[in-house]
């Protein structure tokens, strides 16, 4: 069985690009908003969650709330945070992010990060 990855980003083009980049090696689930992300994290229990911290301008804390929810309810999930710029990286690590990637990131950087985190997770289990 392939490890499952949850991708959360409000930009559907980003979720589609990441879906196609990761789907060969992983079972990929996507969400474009807070409610969908919470439902999918609860149902699918992803091995890795990739969460955009700049989810919506209307709700600047949505990404952080998703991160906290996944950490509390899917404790085995590794968390990758994507963010524009370098703001608040310390906060993301403090609430449980395993990796922070600055946008725009290279797809190879994301692939390398996911492979490393899946390996780390397998070593723990």
pTM of the model: 0.92
pLDDT, tens digit (0-9, with 9 covering 90-100), for 56-71? 777 778 988 999 999 9
Q: What φ, ψ does residue 34 adopt, rounded to 5°?
A: -60, -50
pLDDT, tens digit (0-9, with 9 covering 90-100), for 76-87? 899 999 988 666
Residues with pLDDT less than 70, the chain: 85-87, 122-125
* Domains in the chain: boundaries: 1-85
What's domain 1-85's architecture? 3-Layer(aba) Sandwich (3.40)
Q: What pLDDT does 90 receive?
A: 83
Q: What pLDDT does 100 receive?
A: 93
CA atoms within 13 A on the CB side of 111: 12
């Amino acid at each position: 069985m392939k490890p499952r990855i949850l991708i959360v980003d409000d930009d559907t083009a980003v979720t589609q690009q990441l879906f196609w980049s990761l789907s060969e090696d992983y079972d990929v689930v996507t969400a474009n908003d807070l409610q969908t992300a919470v439902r999918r994290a609860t149902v699918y229990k992803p091995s890795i969650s990739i969460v955009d911290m700049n989810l919506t301008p209307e709700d600047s804390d949505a990404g952080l709330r998703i991160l906290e929810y996944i950490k509390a309810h899917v404790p085995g999930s590794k968390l990758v945070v994507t963010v524009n710029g370098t703001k608040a990286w310390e906060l993301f690590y403090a609430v449980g992010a395993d990796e922070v990637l600055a946008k725009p990131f290279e797809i190879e950087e994301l692939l390398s990060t996911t492979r490393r985190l899946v390996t780390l997770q397998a070593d723990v289990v």
